[in-house]
Amino acid sequence: MKKGGLPVFDYSFFIMVAIFWAVYFLAKRNLFVPLAAVMERRRNFIAERSEKLAQAERNLQEARRTFDLRIKEVREEERAQVEDLQRRLSAERDRSIAALKADLQKELETHRAAMAAETEKIRAALEPEARRMAMDVVSKVLTS
């Protein structure tokens, strides 16, 4: 400023403000809006993927429950089949034992009958000899 003169008005401040607003509007149109759009697409992509992940986890849990239930059913069927097989084998074993017992009982009765017949045959063969010996003993006792 000069001494005693009017102050000189500097327009540089207005020029800087005008440049600031021009840069702001250009940056907003060319930088901020596209960047916000990219960020919004990214946010939507992440939300969509998060929803798909949650759905996949629900599907996995449902598949796991279905798998566990199916395994439980298969194990119960297997257990029932094993028990049925054990019952059938036990019944077959009991029938075999009963048949064997009946066969042995018949064989025992056959042998008993054969022994009884043999006993009667021996008794019939020894009875005359026993009478003769008894008569000899009695006659010796009476004569002595």
Q: Which domain holds residue 76?
A: 15-109
Cα separation, 103 vs 97, whole angstroms: 10
Q: Has residue 143 been placed in a domain? A: no
- Which band of pLDDT confidence, cut at 50, 70 and 90, is reported for residue 87? very high
Q: Has residue 24 been placed in a domain? A: yes
Q: Has residue 46 been placed in a domain? A: yes
Q: Has residue 128 been placed in a domain? A: no
Which is more confident, 137 or 64? 64
Cβ atoms 98, 106 nearer than 8 A: no
Alpha carbon 22 to its chain centroid, in Å, reads 73
SS3 content of the chain, % helix, strand, coil (to 5): 90, 0, 10
Total count of domains within the chain? 1
SS3 144: coil
% residues pLDDT > 90 (the chain): 72
- Which band of pLDDT confidence, cut at 50, 70 and 90, is reported for residue 6? low
Q: Has residue 7 been placed in a domain? A: no
Q: Has residue 141 been placed in a domain? A: no
Contact partners, residue 8, CB within 8 Å, separation at least 6: 1
| Tens digits of residue pLDDT in 47-78 | 999 999 999 999 999 999 999 999 999 999 99
In whole numbers, what is the pLDDT of the chain averaged over residues?
91
Contacts 24+ apart (CB under 8 A), 99-104: none
Cβ atoms 1, 7 nearer than 8 A: yes
Q: Has residue 99 been placed in a domain? A: yes
Q: Has residue 20 been placed in a domain? A: yes
Place of tokens 């009946």: 102
Residue 137: per-residue pLDDT: 86
